[in-house]
Amino acid sequence: MINIKTVAKKAGVSPTTASYALNNRAGVKPETVEKVLRAARELNYIPNSLAQSFRNGKSNTIAVVTHENLEDYSIFSLELMGIILKARELDYDVLVKSLPQDSELHSNEMMQIINGRKADGVILLGNGFEELIGQFKAEIHKMILLSSHSKFGISEVNVNGGKGIYTITEYLIKKGYSTICYLTFALDTTEELNRERGYRKALAAYDLSSKENIIACGYNSKAIYETVIKLMETNPPEAIVCWNDLLALQVINALKEMGKKIPEDIAVTGFDDIIQDLNYIPHLTTIKQPFTEKGKCAMKLLADIIENKVKGPVKQEVECTLVVRESA
């Protein structure tokens, strides 16, 4: 059994020093703290105080951990606002930790946050947590993954992206469009594949599978522009369903440069409903994600799990809605 003595031996320090380092106590040299944290990480050691806090402690505090952008009215800032609003209603405090992408720092910070602050539970906000979830899987019964997916048995709150893309593709088909292209940045993540399946299912439901056209254009603006140009020159569709609103705007800009009118020449749709500029023409037909509501649902679910009202893992979906505007 791995304990504090095992960690201390691996790090070459005394058990007391190892304990002080893991609990962020003063008087331990930074290089010693790093050495102890590295040893704990390599041994997959979770301090007893963390486990005790999750099992028995009740601080009425939850931690939100993320490395997503929380500035400029981002989707994740809206979800965080939902968490905070619901936490206030449920009488919980919220600790927010914005972590860098470095996985080693993730592990160290996560251990410090939960162990030192005695959080009753954690909401992991956004993407890129799979390695961290694997390391802390013994404690994920009081963790919520918000707006992402995991292979581990962790509770999740998300939207059904596949259903959303199905809905907007079906809308186009019912309007009379039969050659519909699906454009996405990539086809790597669970959510990317879910949305692709939604597009395929919609075409299949209306006997249009033979007209499938799925393109992964990458994230580079120039590559996106060139993809749209090539598409319109070689196999122009009547409509383009885009992975999200930001991609849809880049597509529309490229089409405009080609002299195309939207939706007269070609329809374009998005996903998220985050474009707030009412001066942008045309106004975008899209799928609306209720970001603030997602945050509220994640907070409520975590509180229910902490208070033993619900036993996890729970997969909870928040409904999206079709918003019809000028672009399709």
Measured over the CA atoms of residue 24, residue 26, residue 30 and residue 33, the dihedral's sign is: negative
Residue listed under structure tokens 């023409």: 281
Model's pTM, two decimal places?
A: 0.78
Report the pLDDT averaged over residues 81-91.
94
Residues 6+ positions from 311 with CB-CB distance below 8 Å: 305
Name the pLDDT band for 51 (thresholds 50, 70, 90): low
CB contact at 8 A, 196 and 225: no
* Predicted local confidence at residue 75, as pLDDT: 87
207: exposed, middle or buried (C-beta count within 10 Å: 0-12, 13-18, 19+)?
exposed
Give ∠ CA 99-104-109 in degrees, rounded to 5.
45
| % of the chain surpassing 90 pLDDT | 61
- pLDDT of 304 reads 94
Beta-bridge mates of residue 121: 62
SS3 252: helix
Per the CB < 8 A criterion, the answer to whether 154 and 142 are in contact is: no
The answer to whether the beta carbons of residues 297 and 318 sit under 8 Å apart is yes
119, 162, 118: which is closest to 144 by C-alpha? Answer: 119
User: Are residues 205 and 171 in contact, defined by beta-carbon separation less than 8 angstroms?
Assistant: no
Residue type, 224: I
For each of the domains in the chain, give its residue range(s) and CATH number, in order of start. 1-45 (1.10.260.40), 161-288 (3.40.50.2300)
Question: Over 80: is that where the pLDDT of 26 sits?
Answer: no
Average of per-residue pLDDT across 2-10: 88
Under 8 Å between Cβ of 327 and 284:
yes
The total of other beta-carbon atoms located within 10 Å of residue 104's CB is 12
Whole-angstrom distance, CA of residue 10 vs CA of residue 43: 9
Q: Give the contacts of 106 (CB within 8 A, at least 6 positions apart).
A: 67, 99, 100, 129, 131, 132
* Per-residue pLDDT reduced to its tens digit, 107-148: 676 776 666 556 888 999 988 888 888 887 777 788 999 999
The side-by-side arrangement of strands in the sheet containing 61-66 is 93-98, 61-66, 121-125, 143-146, 155-159, 315-318
Task: Write out pLDDT tens, residues 183-222.
Answer: 999 999 999 999 999 999 999 999 999 999 999 999 999 9
